Amino acid sequence: MSQDKVVIAEALNGNVRIRIASTTNLVEKARQVHDCFPTSCAALGRVLTANAIMASELKDENARCVSTVNGRGPAGTIVAQANGKLEVRGFIGDPSLYYLNQETQKLDVGRIVGTNGTLTVTKDLGLKEPFTGVVELQSGEIGEDYAYYFAISEQIPSLVSVGVLVNPDYSVRAAGGLVIQLLPNASEEVIEKVEAIRKNMKPISTYIDEGKTPEEIIHTLFQDANVLDEREIQWHCDCSKDHFARALTLIQKEEIEAMIEEDHGAEVTCQYCGNQYQFNEEELKEILEKAKHVENRKRLTQE
């Protein structure tokens, strides 16, 4: 399987910006990490893909883009995170769902995500305040929800398609995504051309399944496309024991005391990758000391 990547291009005399990603390896890795059944896999894979495409706009390697989807459906919360290096990780509340739409016999992502909730996108660009946009979910099918997000939160008319095909053995057969955005003041002619392309377009996962690369899909859709950039995408969780030790200093100090006295240790599991980190009594005592410092500092700043 070829390396996952996102290719960025412009077309129609610079009036359209296109970003197409192949994410089959990424979604397969997510499936293995979280032991996902097909519909959960498709839902998580679509969010991971759309979020990775958004992160391809980040200029700084350490900047982050995080998407959180919760439509009060059985899937629970879906979270995807990517940094400026396009290292991606994510999780889904319930990975064990396998619902098919009775009419289409396709994986029923909208049903497990639900529509009674929101899509939240947070871009942390290393500035004082991260940028956060929140929109109501439209269909829970993810592609439409991101299109709505771009329209409402960023005022960019966008066409978004994300898709995951799953094999009978539950492994990921093909996954990818596409975002086509019109520049402000695009003419009626450009809008009509994009509309025609949309009507004739196959689902993005079909192109990937046919073995087309993102560049080839771009040139299939837009004959005059000009490729601007290409970036690799991979699954990577940057969690570490130090990271969780710091996180523990921020919880109530009574909770840390209970871990020491009652459990004589603690085990923390990373939600993103499932790695487990053990803390023994000695380590927890050090953390407790640091937690006291944190509390004192908080008290001082409050007074």
The residues binding Zn ion (CB under 5 A) are 237, 239, 270, 272-273, 275
Q: What whole-number distance in Å separates Cα of residue 20 and Cα of residue 133?
A: 22
Q: What whole-number distance in Å separates Cα of residue 269 and Cα of residue 259?
A: 15
How near is the Cβ of 270 to Zn ion at its closest, in Å? 3
Nearer residue to Zn ion within complex by CB, 74 or 274? 274
How near is the Cβ of 211 to Zn ion at its closest, in Å? 32
Residue 100 per-residue DSSP state: B
Contact 143, 50 (CB under 8 A): yes
Nearer residue to Zn ion within complex by CB, 11 or 55? 55
Q: Token pair 């956060």 is at which residue?
A: 132
The tokens describing 233, both together, are 């995408």
Nearer residue to Zn ion within complex by CB, 243 or 264? 243
How near is the Cβ of 236 to Zn ion at its closest, in Å? 9
How near is the Cβ of 275 to Zn ion at its closest, in Å? 5
Contact 52, 82 (CB under 8 A): yes
How near is the Cβ of 215 to Zn ion at its closest, in Å? 32
Nearest Cα to 165, choosing from 54, 48, 28? 28
Nearer residue to Zn ion within complex by CB, 44 or 237? 237
Nearer residue to Zn ion within complex by CB, 53 or 239? 239
Q: Is the dihedral of CA 129, 131, 134, 140 positive or negative?
A: negative
